[in-house]
Homo-oligomer: A and B are copies of this chain.
Amino acid sequence: MKKISDYAAEAEMALRALKLSEKEPASLYGPVDYALSSGGKRLRPGLVMMSAESFGSEKALDASRNAAAGIEMFHNFTLLHDDVMDHSEMRRGRESVWKKWDATTAILSGDTMLTLATQLVSKVEDDKLRSVLDTFNHMALEVYEGQRLDLDFENADSVNSDIYIEMIRKKTGALLGAAGAIGAIIAGAPEKDVAAMATFGEMLGIAFQIQDDWLDTYGDSSTFGKPIGGDILNDKKTFLLVKAMEADAGTVDALKVTMKELKGEAKIKAVTRIYEKLNLNEVTRQAVSFYTKQALKALKGTSLSEEKREPFRLLVDKLTGRKK
């Protein structure tokens, strides 16, 4: 059985086939090549190809290579622009594009990546073009809306967990949903399967993001890859913090004072103690479990055989059961 890692490796080859390092002017395409050659797990384009082959055949897999590359190109375009917005100096262990060059380069080469992505996903048969393109553009708008909501959250006094879920559905879920859906469209799958794969990806994205929030507080720093508690130190509006802010007024006041007065390890410990009091470790795991089940339910609703559903189930395990 082929796994997501096999498809991810094929997606990597599709990206290399673009030969971005040869395109002129190098001042425009060089940063695109730099961003795309810095690794990344290629799960999103892998999902496009896995979906295409699962709903179709080897022919559908071949037909999905460019669209898969386009989905990864889109993802990396958002990273270039997000890094400018967030002033993030590092990305995948290397300097981010704006840091290595400048903000102008990150903006303009990012724009270039969005158009290249649109070109790549458009390289499908004529009778699939409208559907693939509509799915792609709709997804793109959801990603921007999610990013905007995320930015607005940081300045908002209160955020409720329903809006938080809607934000991560758009910011993280929409792209995974489009990846699954576009693969199915290319394979000629019926509308019902396409819609189910969109839901599968969206729910998986939500589960993944909540799990990521959980790991930042409850993970093991040696396997998580970054220090535990970073989100708490940065007052980041995670699922845990948003849930905590929905508690009784006394707890919320205590939490606000703690966040404002304390620093460093003391802050991490005190906030975590409040999370414990609210049973948020358990509440958060349950939320991950809920959205994971939603993803699996959508998967089961497709016309895929149990055998063909297996690599998708393994992808779910990989993204939501992971320790790092």
Q: Which residues, 84 to 143 on A, are CB-close (under 8 Å) to B?
A: 84-85, 103-104, 107-108, 110-112, 114-116, 118-119, 122, 126, 129-130, 133-134, 137, 140-141
> Do A27 and B112 touch (CB < 8 A)?
no
In the complex, the count of this chain's copies comes to: 2
Interface size on A, residues (CB 8 A): 34
Closest CB of chain B to A27's CB: distance in Å? 5
> Do A111 and B144 touch (CB < 8 A)?
yes
The stretch of A51-59, A148-156, A195-203, A221-229 in contact with B is A148-156
Closest to A86 in B: B104
- Find the residue from A84, A103, A107, A140 having the highest chain B CB count within 10 A: A107
A126-B130, A137-B122 known; A148 and B81 CB under 8 Å? Answer: no
> Do A28 and B103 touch (CB < 8 A)?
no
Instruction: Note all chain B residues with C-beta closer than 8 A to A133.
Output: 118, 122, 129, 133
Closest to A111 in B: B144
Instruction: Note all chain B residues with C-beta closer than 8 A to A39.
Output: none
The 10 tightest CB contacts between A and B, nearest first, are A28-B148, A85-B104, A115-B140, A112-B144, A119-B137, A25-B148, A81-B107, A27-B152, A115-B137, A27-B148
